[in-house]
């Protein structure tokens, strides 16, 4: 179940300061062209990390990271290809028939036939991309990169942007945890304005507020039922499992 999290971001400064921040705070909706909160505007996820995370690619990655001269053992095949979609008995027969002795020979054999690769639940191309990303970025896919650089694994779902010139208020939802890492990076990038970030986790039923002014962070965290309920109502108009 997604951990639905409601968020409110407020920034206050001169009109010139706010205008300088907007390109790092907003992107444009791909369909409507309307402004939306976009974490990529501040710290964009590398293009090569925008790939799916799959069991087939992970299985291939494990194979590809082994030394090519590693002896191929039946116990390894049974443990590695234990998915319901992998016909292990048939695979063992084929390996014996083709006299495949090492991991390198097995990988080469799979690469010769895409249908063979698919049949045994491998995605070698994507597995190779995982390895390349791990070497270059320290993460295989965007999921882990987002967690490290944004503090959450998905981008924002914008609900409302209220721009008053010297104050901008943004309400946005998350289907995962609050993006505190992203917020702290915003503050560090633009330390001469006032920032306030408020969040409320519906499923976890906790809430918090981070205030940044004069280069100083202050943190509040709420976990008591009544405190969280009052905070959710005051900030997000949220009460009794719904919004007003």
Cα 142 from Cα 146, distance rounded (Å):
6
Backbone angles phi, psi at 120, to 5 degrees: -105, 25
**Over pLDDT 90: what percentage of the chain?**
81
pLDDT in tens, 152-196: 989 999 999 999 999 999 999 998 899 999 999 999 999 999 999
Backbone angles phi, psi at 183, to 5 degrees: -65, -45
What mean pLDDT is predicted for residues 77-84? 76
180, 151 contact by CB (below 8 A): yes
Q: Which residues of 175-197 are buried (b: 16+ CB within 10 A; e: fewer)?
A: ebbbbbbbbbbbbeebeebebbb
Q: What's the pLDDT score for residue 2?
A: 59
**Tokens 């290809």 label which residue?**
81
**Tokens 């390895």 label which residue?**
131
Three-class SS state of 241: coil
| pTM of structure | 0.81
Cα 39 from Cα 160, distance rounded (Å):
16
Is 60 exceeded by the pLDDT of residue 4? yes
Cα 235 from Cα 169, distance rounded (Å):
12
Is 80 exceeded by the pLDDT of residue 27? yes
**Tokens 């249908």 label which residue?**
115
Cα 64 from Cα 129, distance rounded (Å):
11
In the chain, where are the structural domains located?
5-43+150-243, 55-140
Cα 163 from Cα 23, distance rounded (Å):
14
Backbone angles phi, psi at 143, to 5 degrees: -55, -55
C-alpha distances in Å from residue 129, one per residue of 23, 147, 217: 31, 19, 39
């Amino acid at each position: 179940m997604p951990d639905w999290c409601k968020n409110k971001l407020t920034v206050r400064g001169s009109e010139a300061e706010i205008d300088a921040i907007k390109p790092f705070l907003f992107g444009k909706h791909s369909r409507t062209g309307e402004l939306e909160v976009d974490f990529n505007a501040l710290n964009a996820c590398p293009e090569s990390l925008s790939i799916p995370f799959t069991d087939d690619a992970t299985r291939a990655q494990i194979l590809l990271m082994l030394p090519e001269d590693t002896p191929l053992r039946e116990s390894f095949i049974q443990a590695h290809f234990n998915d319901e979609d992998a016909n292990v008995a048939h695979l063992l027969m084929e390996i014996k028939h083709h006299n495949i002795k090492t991991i390198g020979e097995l990988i080469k054999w799979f690469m010769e036939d895409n249908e063979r690769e698919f049949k045994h639940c491998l995605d070698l191309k994507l597995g190779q991309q995982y390895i390349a990303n791990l070497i270059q970025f320290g993460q295989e896919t965007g999921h882990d990169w987002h967690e490290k650089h944004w503090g959450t694994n998905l981008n924002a779902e914008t609900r409302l942007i209220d721009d008053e010139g010297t104050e901008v208020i943004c309400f946005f939802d998350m289907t995962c945890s609050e993006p505190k890492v992203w917020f702290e990076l915003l503050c560090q990038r633009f330390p001469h304005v006032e920032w306030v970030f408020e969040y409320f986790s519906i499923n976890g039923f906790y809430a918090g507020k981070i205030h940044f002014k004069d280069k100083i962070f202050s943190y509040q965290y709420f976990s008591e039922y009544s405190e969280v309920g009052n905070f959710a109502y005051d900030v997000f108009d949220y009460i009794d499992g719904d919004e007003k």
